[in-house]
């Protein structure tokens, strides 16, 4: 499956990613696991005896999604930053249907390959939040806690946003830069914008993400922490918060003064106890 517009473009994205990995701010292991959907890359960092944390990045991203918080995350957790298949990381480009068991089976293989036999906390941002919800709803016995930052698949997407972003991205690099800033919302580090622009200049993202039913959300019986940005232009945060509060009363829901990029709120989302519960 071709997830990049050109082979050369994909090579540029991968090269830049490798440069970032070479400068990772804490010691890290690079693990490549065989799975039912092809090889999966996992960046592992933090003390070996610390509580585990599985981290799933957003659309058009990879383990660098956690770069700004790597030092703090490593102080409290053994972090397993998984490159989601079909995204611009170092995992296989496979994209099985989202409304299937395929991603749950894939994550089964990942957790088993990492030796994570007990239930583990899972953190997901944006599309990573979708994968976290999907997995926890299908495998509740394997997830001890969910931390969801602006998760996809719960609240509505603003009408016309997709067409607007496509039109802006077709207006050359300047338009793409503007669309990235619009999508992320709020003040964004220029270096982050540069990295995202490079990816979306070459990467073909998933365009349609299924919305979870109330029945699926009610399967999330483990503790659930949700953080959404009040000014998120990509998702209706108020609708996301409302659905969690109505359908999942035990969920802890926080609406913060931010856009879609919630990197600054990662530390708050992983405030687990030493036992990881």
Residue with tokens 């996992």: 42
Phi, psi angles (nearest 5°) of residue 31: -115, 135
186: in domain: no
In the sheet that 40-45 helps form, which strands lie side by side, from edge to edge? Answer: 28-33, 40-45, 78-82, 52-56, 120-125, 143-149, 224-229, 252-256
Q: Is 115 left (phi over 0), alpha (psi -120 to 50) or beta?
A: left
Residue at token pair 């899972």 = 122
In a domain, 19, yes or no: yes
The 10s digit of each residue's pLDDT in 202-242 is 999 888 899 999 999 999 999 999 999 998 888 999 999 99
Question: Per-residue pLDDT tens for 54-108?
Answer: 999 999 999 999 998 999 999 999 999 999 999 999 999 999 999 999 999 999 9
Answer whether residue 274 shows pLDDT above 60.
no
How many structural domains is the chain composed of? 1
Check which CATH number belongs to the domain holding 227 and give it.
3.40.50.1820
Asked, for residue 240, whether it belongs to a domain, the answer is yes
At 271, list the tokens: 């405030």
DSSP-derived 3-state class of residue 273:
coil
Give me 276's structure tokens. Answer: 């990881």
Is 191 contained in some domain?
no
Query: In Å, what is the CA distance from 157 to each residue of 154, 172, 185?
Result: 9, 25, 14
For the segment 157-174, the average pLDDT, to the nearest whole number, is: 62
| DSSP H helical ranges for the chain | 7-22, 70-76, 102-113, 127-138, 161-169, 172-184, 190-202, 214-217, 237-247, 266-269
Compute, in degrees rounded to 10, the torsion defined by CA atoms 83, 88, 92, 95: 100
Cα 156 to the chain's mean position, in Å?
A: 18
User: Is residue 81 in some structural domain?
Assistant: yes
Residues 6+ positions from 240 with CB-CB distance below 8 Å: 150, 151, 154, 155, 226, 228
- Residue 266 contacts residue 69 (beta carbons within 8 Å): yes
Task: Give the structural domain span for 135.
Answer: 7-159+210-269
Residues 117-163: tens digit of each pLDDT = 999 999 999 999 999 999 999 999 999 999 999 999 999 987 665 55
The set of residues, in sequence order, having a beta carbon less than 8 Å from that of 223 and lying 6+ positions away, is 144, 145, 146, 250, 252, 277
Whether residue 199 lies inside any domain: the answer is: no
Establish if 277 belongs to a structural domain: no
Asked, for residue 228, whether it belongs to a domain, the answer is: yes
Tokens 């990045």 identify what position? 57
Reduce the DSSP state of residue 29 to 3 states and report it. strand
Give the DSSP H or E segment for 148.
Answer: strand 143-149
Establish how many alpha carbons lie within 13 A of residue 157's alpha carbon, considering only the half-sphere containing its beta carbon: 18
């Amino acid at each position: 499956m071709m997830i990049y517009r050109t082979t050369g473009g994909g090579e540029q994205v991968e090269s830049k990613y490798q440069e970032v990995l070479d400068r990772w701010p804490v010691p890290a292991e690079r693990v490549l696991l065989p799975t039912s959907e092809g090889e999966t890359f996992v960046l592992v960092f933090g003390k070996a005896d610390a509580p585990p944390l599985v981290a799933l990045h957003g659309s058009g991203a990879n383990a660098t999604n956690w770069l700004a918080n790597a030092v703090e995350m490593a102080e409290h957790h053994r972090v397993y930053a998984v490159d989601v298949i079909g995204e611009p990381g170092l995992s296989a480009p496979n994209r099985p249907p989202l409304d299937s068991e395929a991603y749950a089976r894939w994550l089964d293989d990942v957790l088993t390959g990492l030796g994570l036999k007990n239930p583990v906390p899972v953190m997901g941002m944006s599309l990573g939040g979708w994968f976290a919800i999907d997995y926890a709803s299908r495998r509740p016995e394997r997830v001890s806690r969910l931390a969801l930052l602006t998760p996809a698949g719960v609240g509505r997407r603003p009408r016309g946003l997709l067409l607007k972003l496509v039109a802006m991205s077709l207006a050359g690099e300047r338009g793409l830069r503007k669309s990235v800033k619009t999508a992320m919302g709020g003040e964004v580090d220029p270096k982050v914008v540069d990295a995202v622009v490079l990816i979306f200049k070459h990467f073909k993202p998933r365009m349609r993400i299924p919305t979870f039913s109330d029945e699926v959300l009610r399967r999330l019986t483990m503790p659930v922490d949700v953080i959404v940005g009040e000014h998120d232009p990509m998702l209706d945060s108020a609708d996301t918060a409302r659905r969690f509060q109505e359908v999942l009363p035990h969920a802890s829901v926080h609406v913060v003064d931010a856009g879609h990029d919630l990197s600054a709120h990662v530390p708050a989302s992983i405030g687990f106890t030493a036992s990881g519960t």
